A and B are shown apart, each in its own frame.
Chain A
Amino acid sequence: MLVSTATSAADLLQRRRTPAQRVQQVLHAHPWVSPLVVLVVAVVVFTALNPRFASPASLSLVLQQVAVVGALAVGQTLVILTAGIDLSVGAVAVLAGVVPAQLALSGGLPGPAAVLLGLAVGTLAGLANGLLVTRLRLPPFIVTLGTLSIFTALALLWSGGSSTRADQLPAVLSWTGTRVAVGPFNLTTGVLLVLVLYLVVGYALACTAWGRHVYAVGDDAEAARLAGIRVRRVLLSVYVVAGAVYGLAAWVLIGRAGAASANAVVDANLESITAVVIGGTSLFGGRGVLVGTLLGALIVGVFRSGLSLAGVDDQYRVLAIGVLVIVAVSVDQWIRRARA
């Protein structure tokens, strides 16, 4: 189709490209292609190793296992698209979980209010990150390194390090753990909530002016400013939305873990960055799509789960994920050279 409508000059150019360059071209235009290929290959290989892996029950489990990190990775994607990085994701999620849980337990805060409070805590934490980045003009790495400690300490001071079991809390706080049958799949409302989150944020990124501004700011903040984009306002909005997303992830976590715990999601910072990077979003900003992050989170989940089902030790799962990260960033660098 494309070839037939191309002008003869472009046609000539097309023919001069090596196959590798064409692949490079496709990957450049569609950053979700390489993670999709990896995901499909991984599912096929793990199914060959153990046919039970492909069962709906088993695949449902993968979705449930990646839901929390998948949600956190939505916020992380937004921040990374602006050429930033968020090291405070896990800390914000913990804070947004323990504050409402402790208040519901000791202060009798009603369930729906507790849920809203969790979202508000996440949003405020994101606002704090955003203000520090945009007003003090500190690098996001430094800001979130600092707030990682601050939010963690606040969560520990608030809870004394203890966790609150979901069955001692208003039911709506653990509503995200409710099981839902979707055809042969056994999901939870939390999983569906995270999928809706991907749709909403994915739409906002791909189809709204705000989304274009996020990409523009991440690609070249100075050029964006000259083009009339209010860079600081866009950056601030990204951190605020990311914070709200972490608050939502905290709710999903309570449903999944059966507790609001100061000890949970300890590896969330690195795991969310891993999902984003494997999903093809560039750490240098401005390039990537949200569906890539979803695929990245699923790849991590499929590797963990598939290797576990094959009886492989956890160290090898960790090793495999590390290799994937290196490969993903190498591919990103290679693709960038397509336009160089």
Chain B
Amino acid sequence: MLAAGTLVLAGCGGTDGPAAADDTIGVSLITKTDSNPFFVAMREGAQEAAAEEGVDLTLAAGTSDADEAGQVEAVEDAVARGDAGILITPNGPGVNQAIEDARAAGLLVLALDTPPDPADVVDATFATDNVRAGELIGEYAAARLDGQPAVIAMLDLLDDVDVSVDWQRDQGFLAGMGIDTADPETKGDEAPTGAYTGGAGGDYTIVCNEPTQGAEDGGRTAMENCLRRDPSVNVVYTVNELSAVGAQQALAAAGRDDVVVVSVDGGCDGVSAVEDGLIDATAQQYPVEMARLGVAAVADLARGGEAPEPTEGKSFVDTGVQLVAGTPVDGVDALDVAEGTELCW
């Protein structure tokens, strides 16, 4: 129904709106920032797809991960320009009203990477299943421990709880380890000690939940703080590979080379960190694919096709996630470094 309604509206816009002046299909890509390599890759993917589809692509971004106002302006610009669709990585709920206005004006709005809250603010979301990404590295870490007691450091993105990738990866990791997460949408509320059931199973202790800001210097400081609370840490969850590289600095300074460090992202820098043994395994996501699918979906709809449907059993179109591991373990499927390098961004 919703898709049909959008079609009708899009149709109306097409007959007497500014887009009727010529046949070009305008698409706006609005990322959180223009600096993160993840979004750099996404923009490049969108540019390639736009060239293939003959779509007129406009790039915009917020100035920081929290810049909602900048994104609102970019959405308004897209409507004014007469674009057929918007691909957006929303910075927060502050962008919702602008998105609804854009859809009311007949644009197809797709979220990339980060679903808005609520998810039905957009027509569809193309994203990594970040919970699954966390589960993969949790399963890997548990298998590597092979029954040893797990002393876990959790190096998160921020200290607050409402950034979805943050708690999704964190809680996914614990679920993958086979640890009861209590509320699966809240970081740090799980029992600090208990038993994990992943791999051969065993006892676990969670030493810390420290924010890293997703950067190397933050990762190092966070890991130092965790090691100081308990020097026997043997498993480190990191929210991304930059923080993992920083964490390794702290581990190396403490003379620890026997720690299992897992992460999420799968950019080429991250995969090379796996190759060099700084990271044991990382869950690889596919931002280029998100952008390509998004651009194709807008072009398709503008030419009379259907709006995209979510992956079965999920609220979004899952663009996939795969584990890349330096050393494979039994029972957990993983790409090797060479395969990961081929797919990295």
Residues of A within 8 A of B (CB): 52, 58, 61, 64-65, 68, 152, 156, 160-163, 165, 167-168, 177, 179, 253, 256-259, 261-267, 304-305, 308-309, 311, 313-315
Interface centre among B39, B219, B249, B276 (most CB of A within 10 A): B249
User: Roughly how many angstroms separate A167 CA and B246 CA in the complex, as a whole number?
Assistant: 12
Instruction: Identify which of A160, A168, A257, A315 contacts B249 (C-beta below 8 A).
Output: A257
Distance from A323 Cβ to chain B, minimum over Cβ atoms (Å): 17
Q: Looking at chain A's contact residues, is the secondary structure mostly helix, strand, loop, or mixed?
A: helix
User: Roughly how many angstroms separate A163 CA and B270 CA in the complex, as a whole number?
Assistant: 10
Closest to A301 in B: B221
Q: Mark B14-29, 1 if CB is under 8 A from A, else 0.
A: 0000000000000000
CB-based contact A52/B216 at 8 Å? no
User: Roughly how many angstroms separate A160 CA and B215 CA in the complex, as a whole number?
Assistant: 15
Q: Mark B203-246, 1 if CB is under 8 A from A, else 0.
A: 00000001101111101110011001100000000000010011
Q: Which residues of A contact B171 (CB under 8 A)?
A: none
Q: Which residues of A contact B272 (CB under 8 A)?
A: 165, 168
Instruction: Identify which of B159, B214, B217, B273 contacts A257 (C-beta below 8 A).
Output: B217
Instruction: Identify which of A167, A261, A311, A314 contacts B215 (C-beta below 8 A).
Output: A261
CB-based contact A258/B40 at 8 Å? no
Instruction: Identify which of B40, B211, B242 contacts A160 (C-beta below 8 A).
Output: B40
Q: Which residues of B contact A68 (CB under 8 A)?
A: 217
Closest to B38 in A: A161
Instruction: Identify which of B215, B224, B225, B267 contacts A263 (C-beta below 8 A).
Output: B215
CB-based contact A263/B246 at 8 Å? no
Closest to B255 in A: A179
Distance from A82 Cβ to chain B, minimum over Cβ atoms (Å): 28
Interface residues on B, range: 20 to 34
CB-based contact B217/A264 at 8 Å? yes
User: Roughly how many angstroms separate A265 CA and B224 CA in the complex, as a whole number?
Assistant: 17
CB-based contact B37/A161 at 8 Å? yes
CB-based contact B228/A61 at 8 Å? yes
Q: Which residues of B contact A259 (CB under 8 A)?
A: 216, 242, 245-246
Instruction: Identify which of A61, A253, A263 contacts B242 (C-beta below 8 A).
Output: A263
Closest to A55 in B: B228
CB-based contact B217/A265 at 8 Å? yes
Q: Which residues of A contact B36 (CB under 8 A)?
A: 161, 263
Interface centre among A65, A156, A256, A267 (most CB of B within 10 A): A256
Q: Which residues of B contact A267 (CB under 8 A)?
A: 213
A-B contacts at CB below 8 angstroms, number: 94
The 8 closest A-B pairs by CB, nearest first: A257-B216, A314-B159, A258-B249, A257-B217, A308-B225, A161-B35, A263-B215, A259-B216
Are A258 and B35 also in contact (CB < 8 A) when A61-B228, A68-B217 are? Answer: no
CB-based contact B225/A309 at 8 Å? yes
Closest to B222 in A: A308
Residues of B within 8 A of A (CB): 34-37, 39-40, 159-160, 210-211, 213-217, 219-221, 224-225, 228-229, 242, 245-246, 248-249, 253, 267, 269, 272-273, 276, 278
A–B Cβ pairs within 8 angstroms, 8 of them: A61-B224, A61-B228, A156-B34, A257-B219, A266-B215, A308-B210, A314-B211, A315-B160
CB-based contact A258/B248 at 8 Å? yes
Closest to B211 in A: A314
CB-based contact B37/A160 at 8 Å? yes
Are A253 and B273 also in contact (CB < 8 A) when A161-B35, A258-B245 are? Answer: no
Q: Which residues of A contact B253 (CB under 8 A)?
A: 179
CB-based contact B220/A261 at 8 Å? no
Distance from A157 Cβ to chain B, minimum over Cβ atoms (Å): 10
User: Roughly how many angstroms separate A64 CA and B253 CA in the complex, as a whole number?
Assistant: 11
User: Roughly how many angstroms separate A156 CA and B61 CA in the complex, as a whole number?
Assistant: 14
Distance from B302 Cβ to chain A, minimum over Cβ atoms (Å): 31
Q: Which residues of B contact A162 (CB under 8 A)?
A: 37, 40, 267, 269
User: Roughly how many angstroms separate A235 CA and B324 CA in the complex, as a whole number?
Assistant: 53
Closest to A313 in B: B159
Other than A160-B37, A261-B216, A264-B217, give 11 A-B pairs with Cβ distance below 8 A: A156-B35, A162-B267, A163-B216, A163-B269, A165-B276, A257-B219, A258-B216, A258-B220, A258-B245, A311-B229, A315-B159
Q: Which residues of B contact A256 (CB under 8 A)?
A: 217, 220, 249
User: Roughly how many angstroms separate A61 CA and B231 CA in the complex, as a whole number?
Assistant: 14
CB-based contact B228/A262 at 8 Å? no
User: Roughly how many angstroms separate A311 CA and B272 CA in the complex, as a whole number?
Assistant: 34
Closest to B252 in A: A258
Q: Which residues of B contact A313 (CB under 8 A)?
A: 159
